[in-house]
Amino acid sequence: MKQISTFGLSSYRISDLQLLRNSDDDAAVAKMLAHCPIMQVEADEAVAESGRARLYILLRGALSVTNDTRTGMADGTVSKILPGESVGEQSVLDEETNLAHITALEQSEVLVVEADLVWQLIDESNVLARNLLRLLSFRIRAANAQLRRRQKLGEFYRQLSMIDGLTGLYNRAWLNDLLPTMVATAHGSNAPLALIMIDLDHFKKFNDSHGHVAGDEALRAAAQVLSGALRPTDFAVRYGGEEMMVLLPDTSDKVAVSVAERLCERMRQAKVFGDMRQPLPHITASFGVAVLQPQQSEQDLIQAADAALYRAKENGRNQVAA
């Protein structure tokens, strides 16, 4: 980066600089900037000098700004600066070193204004203060909008990470995150919480007989049975492999058993795929029901439902045990 002129000796005008446009006295402002250096920067060359708080105004060319201090978001965001625009305002106002990495995208000319002169312009010319407030207000709104978009995107991916890709049910991560809260809420309000453990019967044999593609279809069919038969306040989870789980808030043991029996019957009727050229495979499942007891933890509740599921299997499968 080398000095090629000063603002007073150049053909540039105050109207070329966004921060100083609409001045009541362009001549007075131009006089104050007259000795400010104009630096020529080659493509890919860094602009900002370390340890200095300065205002850089691009006169010609284009700049790339990474970790842009204009928005206060040091997160790798890349901005493009065009002629008339500036960078470094925040460092001047904060009296801190400019942390932005500023690089020329092509051969460019940059007006460099020292921090002391920026403050003098603010004191003696209302135009810089007005334009600076507008600029910072715009950048704050832009940064807030970007932050909201990122929060929404982050929440979207968080929710996506808690959905099982094959069945569309909630996954184990969701269960580990939400079940302790549900148990604590149930204990705090003395409301019942029922849990149904579900295991598809002889699933390995089903896979061996019909193939893993049909096995995946069977898991999806079972998930559809659960999703289609529950209340909006209930939750279906793929616990792992061919094991699934249903959580029923505010549900007594008798109602939970009734729900499990309904699901068991619907599972018997579920068709895995409708290819009429071969025998139609169906699926059955075993169900274990447990209801949260006083002072019982979420792990104990799962173990109680798992023990009931084991009894359903021991009694011949394709049935409900509590």
Q: In whole angstroms, give the CA distance from residue 165 to residue 184.
A: 28
Question: Catalytic positions, please?
Answer: 242
pLDDT < 50: residue spans in the chain: 68-75, 276
Which residue bears the tokens 């932050």? 147
User: What confidence score (pLDDT) does residue 276 get?
Assistant: 47
* pLDDT reported for residue 49: 63
Side chain identity at residue 106, one-letter code: E
pLDDT for the residue numbered 126 = 78
Give tens-digit pLDDT for 54-102.
889 999 999 988 754 444 444 456 688 899 898 888 778 776 666 568 8
- List the domains of the chain with CATH numbers: 2-152 (2.60.120.10), 172-321 (3.30.70.270)
Determine how many CB atoms are found less than 10 A away from the CB of residue 35: 11
What pLDDT is recorded for position 99?
54
- In the prediction, which pLDDT does 68 show? 46
Q: What is the pLDDT of residue 140?
A: 77
pLDDT at 143: 72
> Per the structure block, which two tokens stand in for 82?
């065009």
pLDDT recorded at residue 71: 43
Which residues are bridge partners to 198 per DSSP?
244, 287
pLDDT of residue 197: 97
Q: What pLDDT shows up at residue 73?
A: 42
Secondary structure class of 90 (helix, strand, coil): helix
